[in-house]
């Protein structure tokens, strides 16, 4: 298999974090991981717009997972869920229907209310792709970030991970959001102490 990615971008980043968690635990679980070649698609050189890449994904975005039979999967969450089926240990979504539902709900909240707003704020103020500034969009999204940050901060509490005693896809998505905020010089109020503590600790797993 091949995973096409651009690590600066938060959506492929969360898939990379997901794979890191699986690989991190491979010495402690009796499971052979499938070989996944990581293929860089350099957005700074517009490689996502080449005919070769557009043949894989006409939308011109990453991540893209190309299976051994040529099947192409797109979008972060479906790719992570597919890989979870292939590599169930350690579970990053949940071992029971209830845990899976709760984990997906938390991850979805973080994606829609925090990750997407961070992406819009960064691209509207300091876009790594060179997009023009959009102060109105930046103000609109920035005004809505505190509610999401406060909820996530409370959600984490004093735990090591977002949900439960082990990492989940919620941690992967939240790390992608926080990393992109830092990369884009988007300031996150230090008053969200649980969130910042979690970030400083969890990010170390992926250095």
CA dihedral 38, 41, 43, 46 (to 10 degrees): 180
Q: What mean pLDDT comes out for the span 75-95?
A: 95
pLDDT category of residue 25 using cuts at 50, 70 and 90 = confident
Which of 2-6, 22-26, 157-161 has the lowest average pLDDT? 22-26
CATH 1.20.1050.10 fits 97-206, yes or no: yes
Cβ burial of 74 (10 Å; 0-12, 13-18, 19+) is: middle
Per-residue pLDDT of 97-107, as tens digits, reads 999 999 999 99
Burial pattern 29-51, b for ≥16 Cβ within 10 A else e, equals eeeeeeebeeeebebeeebbeee
Q: Do domains 2-86 and 97-206 have the same CATH topology?
A: no
The pLDDT of residue 108 is 97
pLDDT category of residue 27 using cuts at 50, 70 and 90 = low
pLDDT category of residue 29 using cuts at 50, 70 and 90 = low
Domain boundaries, the chain: 2-86, 97-206
Three-class DSSP category at 158: coil
Per-residue pLDDT of 48-61, as tens digits, reads 999 999 999 999 99
Average pLDDT of the chain to the nearest whole number: 94
Which class would CATH give 2-86? alpha beta
* Residue whose structure tokens are 């991540």: 63
Tell me 111's DSSP state: I
């Amino acid at each position: 298999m091949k995973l096409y990615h651009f690590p600066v971008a938060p959506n492929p980043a969360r898939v990379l974090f997901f794979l890191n968690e699986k690989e991190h635990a491979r010495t402690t679980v009796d499971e052979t991981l499938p070989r996944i070649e990581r293929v860089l698609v350099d957005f700074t050189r517009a490689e996502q717009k080449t005919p070769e890449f557009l043949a894989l994904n006409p939308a011109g975005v990453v991540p893209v997972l190309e299976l051994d039979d040529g099947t192409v999967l797109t979008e972060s969450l479906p790719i992570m869920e597919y890989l979870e089926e292939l590599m169930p240990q350690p579970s990053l979504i949940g071992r029971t229907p209830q845990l899976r539902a709760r984990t997906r709900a938390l991850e979805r909240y973080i994606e829609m209310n925090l990750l997407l707003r961070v992406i819009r704020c960064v691209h509207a103020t300091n876009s790594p792709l060179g997009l023009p500034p959009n102060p109105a969009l930046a103000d609109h999204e920035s005004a809505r970030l505190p509610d999401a940050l406060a909820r996530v901060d409370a959600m984490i509490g004093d735990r090591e991970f977002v949900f439960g005693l082990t990492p989940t896809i919620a941690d992967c998505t939240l790390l992608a959001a926080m990393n992109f905020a830092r990369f884009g010089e988007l300031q996150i109020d230090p008053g969200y102490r649980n969130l910042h503590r979690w970030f400083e600790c969890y990010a170390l797993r992926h250095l």
